[in-house]
């Protein structure tokens, strides 16, 4: 059955990320997707080589095509001009407008031209905010872009292609929010939204600001519409953007970096002349050494480096998709966060939106539940599964007794009720309510011990104080919320149990009738 152009179907979800299918005039685009930027005037590697790497969608610049091949582009259409039978998205020339201050084409002419050349996904001529330090200038770019979007409606009404509405505001997130809310009112005509102006922030590794821009745009535009992030073509930021709901990317980084002898990896970028070995096994890296590439003529070196860079970008997109399918996107973010300080800051910024992410995160992922891999970082407490558990024990739970026995979970014996610790304490404290405690997870009431994820997680044996402090806060809230009068806290030989117990006693002193600590005697 033929689907309507612009329809977006979500197939899998994890966090706010999703695997989807966007229907275009030239086929279906599976998202998350990265569209390589194509310049017909200077394209290395060839379009066929790009397609052979698995890219069925590309993006090119309609304004440059209008300047260079106006008549030919109209006569042939953009697909024949590029010699590409896949999906073609065309940008409007906004980048040139931002860089040079003006373009010789009007907003109406850009729209008409993209219609005549047969673009599958088209963009109105917006006004990018860029990296301006002037709030007044940024506010003007928002208003002017929205004005142009409204004026364009009579030109795109009923058009058989996907029209894109860029969200401007740049680093001013309140302006991004305003732009997003106003853009949402135009969702009937614009089936794709795009976050503009991240390039300078990417170059500065200001990923936390990009996180704020993306989150603001995503959570204030219709979730039924995919979201594109302009110019974000590096594996370091892709998983974080997807986790916040970005579905599409485009970038010329693969070729721009290659022309500058820069080699992309999932965790950063290296200069070719500084490398002795390639950490990659793609066809380029398996065949050549860094020295061999350096000794090649520049055109061939650039082509091969660009192919490698594309290979890594494609690999990262697939890695993110697999993480979504397996319900492990969060774990991919944690892994990334430990590879560069800027990504650690990105994760710290992302968790500010944890409540919204939790609402979008599915309970079942890939049709089933997956065990959690927990790490010794405080951000874990903002993981959706952990947030849900804390809400459940704080808001939707009634304890069976006013006498509480807290004991440390044996991380090697789950569920908690099957452990020797629990059996021994149950015989020693008849009538008391037994609740295990664990870093990050917090309180584990015995009645819930076998429910997800309280026995389906793996965790390390040591934790930083910051993570333990957050755990203490959750356990203390649990004790106070449910009005326990007598509390006994057991500690074991693991250092984290003693730290948690000490801080719990200090926090709960005077708030319960009786509180004491004891050492757990292992059998």
Binding-site residues for substrate sit at 126
Q: In this structure, are residues 442 and 478 in contact, taking their beta carbons and an 8 Å threshold?
A: yes
Instruction: Give the whole-angstrom CA distance, residue 230 versus residue 184.
Output: 19
H or E element at residue 502 = helix 495-508
Collapsed DSSP state (helix, strand, coil) of residue 112:
helix
> What single DSSP character describes residue 413?
S
Distance CA 369, CA 371 (A): 7
Q: Is 316 within 8 Å of 235 (Cβ atoms)?
A: yes
Given a contact cutoff of 8 angstroms between Cβ atoms, the answer to whether 486 and 404 are in contact is yes
As a 3-state breakdown, the chain gives helix, strand, coil percent values, each rounded to 5, of: 45, 20, 35
The answer to whether residues 238 and 323 touch, using CB atoms and an 8 Å cutoff, is no
* Alpha-carbon span 275 to 288, nearest angstrom: 12
- H/E segment holding residue 163: strand 162-167
Q: Which parts are annotated binding residues? A: 126, 280, 282, 285
Q: Which residues contact 83 (CB under 8 A, 6 or more apart)?
A: 47, 48
Across the strands, what pairs with 249?
34, 229
Could you count the other beta carbons within 10 Å of the beta carbon of residue 273?
Answer: 10
Binding site for Zn(2+): which residues? 280, 282, 285
What CA–CA distance (Å, rounded) separates 159 from 411?
59
Name beta bridge partners: 262: 271
Q: Which among 39, 48, 91, 412 is annotated as catalytic?
A: 91
Of 251, 300, 303, 294, which Cα lies nearest the Cα of 271? 294
Spatial CB neighbours of 37, under 8 Å, sequence gap ≥ 6 = 58, 59, 60, 61, 250, 251, 252, 255
Any bridge partners for residue 122, and if so which? Answer: 90, 163
Taking the C-alpha atoms of residue 293 and residue 513, their distance in angstroms, rounded to an integer, is 74
Q: Is 91 a catalytic residue?
A: yes
Interatomic CA distance for residues 72 and 83, integer angstroms: 13
Contact between 449 and 416 under an 8 Å Cβ cutoff? The reply is: yes
d(CA 327, CA 14): 6
* Tokens (6 digits) for 251: 């970038």
Residues with active-site annotation? 91
């Amino acid at each position: 059955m033929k689907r309507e152009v612009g329809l977006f179907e979500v197939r899998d979800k994890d966090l706010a990320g999703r695997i989807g299918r966007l229907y275009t005039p030239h086929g279906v685009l599976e998202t998350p997707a990265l569209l390589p930027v194509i310049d017909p005037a200077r394209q290395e590697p060839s379009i066929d080589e790009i397609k052979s790497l698995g890219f069925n969608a590309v993006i090119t610049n309609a304004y440059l095509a209008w300047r260079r091949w106006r008549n030919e582009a109209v006569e042939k259409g953009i697909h024949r001009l590029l010699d590409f039978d896949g999906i073609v998205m065309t940008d409007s020339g906004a980048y040139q407008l931002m860089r040079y201050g003006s373009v010789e084409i009007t907003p109406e002419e850009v729209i008409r031209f993209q219609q005549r050349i047969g673009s599958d996904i088209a963009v109105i001529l917006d006004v990018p905010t860029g990296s301006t330090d002037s709030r007044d200038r940024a506010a003007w770019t928002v208003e002017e872009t929205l004005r142009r979007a409204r004026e364009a409606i009579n030109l795109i009404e009923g058009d058989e292609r996907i029209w894109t509405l860029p969200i401007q505001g740049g680093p001013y997130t309140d302006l991004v929010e305003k732009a997003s809310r106003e853009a949402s009112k135009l969702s009937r005509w614009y089936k794709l939204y795009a976050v503009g102006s991240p390039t300078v922030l990417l170059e500065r590794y200001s990923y936390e600001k990009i996180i704020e821009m993306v989150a603001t745009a995503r959570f204030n535009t219709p979730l039924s519409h995919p979201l594109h992030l302009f110019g974000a073509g590096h594996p370091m930021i892709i998983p974080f953007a997807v986790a916040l709901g970005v579905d599409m990317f485009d970038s010329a980084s693969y070729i721009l970096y290659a022309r500058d002898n820069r080699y992309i990896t999932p965790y950063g970028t290296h200069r070719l002349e500084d490398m002795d070995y390639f950490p990659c096994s793609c066809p380029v890296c398996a065949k050549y050494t860094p020295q061999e590439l350096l000794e090649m003529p520049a055109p061939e070196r650039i082509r091969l480096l660009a192919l490698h860079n594309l290979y890594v970008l494609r690999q990262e997109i697939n890695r993110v998709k697999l993480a979504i399918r397996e319900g492990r996107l969060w774990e991919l973010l944690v892994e990334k966060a430990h590879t560069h300080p800027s990504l650690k800051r990105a994760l710290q910024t992302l968790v500010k939106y944890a409540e919204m992410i939790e609402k979008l995160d599915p309970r079942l992922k890939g049709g089933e539940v997956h065990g959690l891999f927990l790490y010794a970082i405080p951000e874990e407490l903002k993981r959706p599964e952990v947030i849900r558990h804390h809400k459940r024990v704080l808001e939707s739970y009634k304890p069976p007794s006013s006498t509480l026995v807290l004991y440390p979970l044996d991380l090697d014996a789950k569920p908690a009720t099957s452990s020797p610790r629990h059996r021994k304490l149950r015989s020693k404290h008849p009538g008391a309510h037994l609740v295990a405690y664990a870093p990050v997870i917090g309180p584990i009431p015995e009645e819930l011990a076998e429910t997800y994820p309280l026995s389906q997680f793996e965790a390390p044996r040591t934790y930083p104080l910051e993570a333990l402090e957050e755990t203490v806060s959750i356990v203390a809230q649990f004790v106070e919320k449910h009005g326990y009068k007598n509390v006994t806290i057991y500690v074991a030989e693991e250092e984290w149990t003693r730290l948690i117990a000490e801080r719990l006693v200090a926090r709960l002193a005077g708030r319960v009738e009786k509180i004491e600590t004891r050492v757990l005697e292992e059998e």
